[in-house]
Amino acid sequence: MLSKTTLGRTGIEVTKLGFGALVMGSMQANMSPEEGAKVIRKALEKGISFIDTAHVYGTYEHIRKAKKDWKEELVIATKTPASDYEKAERHINYALEALDLESLDIMLLHAARAGENVFRERAGAYQCLCDYKEKGLIKAIGVSTHHVGTVRVAGQREDVDVIHPLINVIGTGILGGTVENMASAIEASSQRGKGIYAMKALAGGSLLERMDEAFKFVMTLPGIDAVVVGMVSEAEVDMNCRIFSGETIPPKEREIAFRQKHLKIVEAYCKGCGRCVDACPSGALSMVDGKSSVDRSKCLLCGYCTPACPEFAIRVI
């Protein structure tokens, strides 16, 4: 049975394991709404009551289909990439309609790489979130970020309810500081009553082989309420639910789940620096038209290239 927790002082109760919808979206696995809905529905049936998505993931339709006629409790967090008020307002209204909801549980500023000035730079969009919370159309607001400084700043603001930070045991993708810096910013924010749910606990898939250790590291950090994990198959949902319920998964079963995975380079993020090519011991990566490209017949899914990428463009999905 999956355990539940309350996100900070929001009063919103979620399962400690949340379903991350990024991976099934058009930027990564590009699953159809029907395929995606099947996997999400499986997650709901297995007891997961928390889904994280975003305007840019293109997965509202997947979620809407999955939750059709679902009567149990379900919390959906989403995010807006908007900077100004009008755009944020459009994104809120779009989410309400596309997800078929009367109010949004959690709406965050989608600010992955933005630094500590994000609330000033995107003041219009954040004001819109505050106003819609006031109107009762959003229950909790905040920010999603890879940046230590943004977590620190958000933790000190009275108008932030929830923070969605990036953290993992090897520090892949953390901006503006170390794993220790991020952990202490998270703890301080939690002590001020913020709800914290983590992302990228498996470092974009490169910690799959050390999954138990990676999840344990994040879930035992002081201040973390929950973690969302990207899942693209029913087998993966099943395995993650079992791990979060305290079961030990036999190595053979893990292998089966890993075998369905592959390396994905998110072209839109790749800046063509070539660091991943040098990091790959198998010669599976090369530069094609200024972007990194993988030869899947050579890729062993060892994960050495993932931490080498400063843009977080390489994922195992």
Q: Is the dihedral of CA 226, 228, 229, 234 positive or negative?
A: positive
Nearer to ligand SF4, 165 or 303 (CB): 303
Nearer to ligand SF4, 104 or 166 (CB): 166
How many CB atoms are closer than 10 A to CB 298?
A: 12
Site size toward ligand SF4, by CB under 6 A = 28
Cα distances from 241 to residues 51, 122, 123, 199, 245, in angstroms, run 14, 37, 38, 17, 6
Nearer to ligand SF4, 47 or 274 (CB): 274
The token duo for 208 is: 């799959």
How far apart are the C-alpha atoms of 19 and 16, rounded to whole Å? 10
Extended beta strands in the chain, E state? 4-6, 13-15, 17-20, 50-52, 75-80, 104-110, 138-145, 162-165, 195-198, 226-230, 263-265, 285-288, 291-294, 314-316
* Window 245-264: contact mask with ligand SF4 (x via CB under 6 A): ------------------x-
Q: How far is the CB of 155 from ligand SF4 (least distance, A)?
A: 30
Q: How far is the CB of 255 from ligand SF4 (least distance, A)?
A: 16
The token duo for 266 is: 């998110």
208 binding ligand SF4? (CB under 6 A): no
Segment contacting ligand SF4 (CB under 6 A): 7-15, 54-62, 117-125, 304-312?
304-312
- Tell which one of 115, 124, 177, 274 touches ligand SF4 (CB under 6 A): 274
160 binding ligand SF4? (CB under 6 A): no
| Phi, psi (rounded to 5 degrees) for 117 | -85, 5
Segment contacting ligand SF4 (CB under 6 A): 60-68, 92-100, 243-251, 270-278?
270-278
Nearer to ligand SF4, 219 or 279 (CB): 279
